[in-house]
């Protein structure tokens, strides 16, 4: 799995361009605290990079989930909808938010690798 990160604290696993996986980072879920609700986009909806694709709510705050790359939603994590705490307990695994079909794979080059994201998040 090759994960890349956005400066909006989403992660992307583009190992399958037809079903690129998106979720929130460990840093994001740490900052939010206990996640109690997620609003996931509808399958078939298309978003441009940077658009709000969902919302995550915690006991402390609500935060938008931004589209790290442009694409069409091909699946949402119904397990996460039923158990939002998965975003806390396994943010890079079972706590994924949605899968997209990339519309511009070139946008992946603007995302951060793990080392760059870690450095960015320490100063965020």
pLDDT of residue 49: 97
- Burial label for 18, CB within 10 Å (0-12, 13-18, 19+), is exposed
Is residue 71 within 8 Å of residue 102, measured between CB atoms? yes
Angstrom distance (rounded) from CA 25 to CA 90: 10
Angstrom distance (rounded) from CA 6 to CA 52: 13
Angstrom distance (rounded) from CA 95 to CA 11: 11
Q: Going from the N-terminus, what domains does the chain have, and what CATH number goes with each?
A: 3-105 (2.40.50.100)
pLDDT of residue 1: 52
124 residues of the chain, pLDDT tens digit each:
589 999 999 999 999 888 999 999 999 999 999 999 999 999 999 999 999 999 999 999 999 999 999 999 999 999 999 999 999 999 999 999 999 999 999 999 999 999 999 999 998 7
Is residue 115 within 8 Å of residue 8, measured between CB atoms? no
């Amino acid at each position: 799995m090759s994960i890349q990160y956005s400066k909006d604290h989403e992660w992307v696993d583009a190992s399958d361009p037809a079903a690129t996986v998106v979720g929130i980072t460990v840093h994001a879920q740490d900052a939010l605290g206990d996640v109690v609700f997620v609003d996931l986009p509808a399958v078939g909806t298309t978003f441009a990079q940077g658009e709000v694709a969902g919302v995550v709510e915690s006991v402390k705050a609500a935060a938008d989930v931004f589209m790290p790359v442009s694409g069409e939603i091909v699946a949402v994590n119904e397990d996460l909808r039923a158990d939002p705490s998965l975003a806390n307990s396994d943010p890079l695994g079972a706590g994924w938010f949605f899968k997209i079909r990339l519309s511009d794979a070139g946008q992946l080059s603007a995302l951060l690798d793990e080392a760059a994201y870690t450095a960015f998040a320490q100063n965020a």
